[in-house]
């Protein structure tokens, strides 16, 4: 998509109107307009989400699945409606396939611990070089516990998954492919349908880390064909401390409990305990029901904006930012493969990303600087760290212009 085409696509998207929904964007930093370019780390919250969470605490608060009184019943109903909203957001067959967790990290750990306990020594799991630590470390811990084998699919020099090399790793011992839908460093979008088709041909399942994709593009787990899909609430403009695991019901049903405690039991005796059916089997203890309701409100919010429109808007910003940054001779862009969206990592010759980030901060600009919880990918790129600008529903070309102006100042400072 070229700049002219993408501009036409986004004509109906009013970023300025959207910005008005986010109170923090009216703040100033060091006397400068707050320019937030770190949505890939954690997105800002619209007023509708803030109001819904506040209402739940101020006017409706009561624990779920326990009380027989009015507030408890109403909160339980809101909690389960949030499950329906989440299922609808990713086109799950049933809300019984949605497990609420603290975030994508816990979701992956749940699968690694519970489903992973069914694996045998020598079974293989394939990851890619572009994975977040949360989709690496849980599988390493499983390797230590059960002797599974990890294989790593490489990426190309421009930041795409090397599909031929990935497919060559598949074999009769492959039990799972755990892979990102969109790289949190490069913005690269992985062809999950191709990955799933190839994995299923050898009988392997596919887990998708959807943290970056879910806020930016339509997600249909039926169309993707994967077996697990995870995402975090705070990246889809909802609260922290909440997220979702989707898995096919028959898979969840075969998995042992992850935690033990209240809410997930059918009957407890000292001799034996029996458990409820999924998803409650995996939701021990008092859940983050207020966060869950807040996340559902956020999902409704971005659904109303339109995921296709969000995707087109953020792609326009990405193309514009790439064009502007290429005009700065000392800048190196990392990850130019297509398709990609919303995330731009870059380096500046002889300037550490932390120095860039500090100077930009004084201009009111928030970016991420570091290894982005993806140290193996940094090693593949041949750098210790990068600077990262990432866009959201509220980002504008003016934000990009401020970024470029401030980077020009960095160049002047460091000569």
List the one residue out of 246, 275, 279 whose CA is nearest residue 262. Answer: 275
Q: d(Cα 78, Cα 199) in Å, to the nearest integer?
A: 37
Q: d(Cα 209, Cα 204) in Å, to the nearest integer?
A: 16
Q: Residue 200: how many CB atoms within 10 A of its CB? A: 16
Give the active site residue among 50, 251, 373, 411.
373
The residues near 70 (Cβ < 8 Å, ≥ 6 apart) are none
Q: d(Cα 352, Cα 89) in Å, to the nearest integer?
A: 40
Contact between 198 and 174 under an 8 Å Cβ cutoff? The reply is no
Q: d(Cα 91, Cα 272) in Å, to the nearest integer?
A: 37
Identify whether 226 is a catalytic site residue. Answer: no
- Return the active site residues: 373
């Amino acid at each position: 998509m070229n700049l002219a085409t993408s501009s036409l696509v986004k004509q109906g998207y009013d970023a300025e109107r959207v910005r008005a929904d986010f109170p923090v964007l009216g703040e100033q930093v060091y006397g400068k307009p707050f320019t937030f370019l770190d949505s890939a780390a954690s997105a800002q919250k619209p007023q509708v989400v803030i109001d819904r969470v506040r209402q739940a605490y101020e006017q409706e608060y009561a624990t779920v699945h326990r009380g027989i009184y009015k507030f408890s019943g109403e909160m339980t109903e809101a909690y389960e409606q949030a499950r329906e909203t989440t299922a609808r957001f990713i086109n799950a067959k049933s809300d019984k396939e949605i497990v609420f967790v603290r975030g994508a990290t816990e979701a992956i750990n749940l699968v690694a611990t519970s489903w992973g306990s069914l694996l045998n020594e020598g079974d293989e799991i394939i990851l890619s070089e572009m994975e977040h630590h949360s989709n690496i470390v849980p599988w390493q811990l499983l390797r230590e516990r059960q002797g599974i084998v990890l294989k790593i699919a490489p990426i190309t020099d421009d930041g795409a998954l090397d599909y031929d090399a990935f497919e060559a790793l598949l074999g009769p011992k492959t039990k799972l492919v755990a892979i990102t839908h969109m790289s949190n460093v490069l913005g690269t979008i992985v062809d999950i349908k191709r990955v799933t088709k190839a994995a299923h041909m050898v009988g392997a399942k596919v887990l998708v880390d959807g943290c970056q994709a879910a806020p930016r593009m339509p997600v249909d787990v039926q169309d993707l064909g994967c077996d697990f899909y995870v995402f975090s609430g705070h990246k889809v403009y909802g609260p922290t401390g909440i997220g979702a695991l989707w898995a096919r019901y028959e898979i969840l049903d075969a998995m042992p409990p992850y935690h033990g405690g209240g809410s997930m039991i059918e009957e407890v005796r000292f001799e034996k305990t029996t458990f409820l059916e999924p998803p409650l089997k995996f939701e021990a203890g008092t859940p983050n029901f207020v966060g869950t309701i807040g996340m559902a409100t956020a999902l409704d919010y971005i659904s109303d904006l339109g995921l296709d429109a969000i995707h087109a808007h953020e792609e326009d910003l990405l193309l514009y930012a790439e064009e502007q940054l290429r005009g700065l001779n000392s800048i190196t862009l990392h990850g130019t493969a297509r398709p990609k969206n919303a995330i731009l990592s870059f380096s500046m010759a002889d300037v550490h990303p932390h120095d860039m980030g500090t100077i930009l901060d004084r201009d009111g600009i928030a970016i991420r600087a570091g290894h982005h919880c993806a140290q193996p990918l940094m090693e593949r790129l041949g750098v210790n760290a990068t600077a990262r600008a990432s866009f959201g529903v509220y980002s504008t070309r003016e934000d990009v212009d401020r970024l470029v102006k401030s980077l020009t100042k960095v160049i002047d400072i460091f000569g």
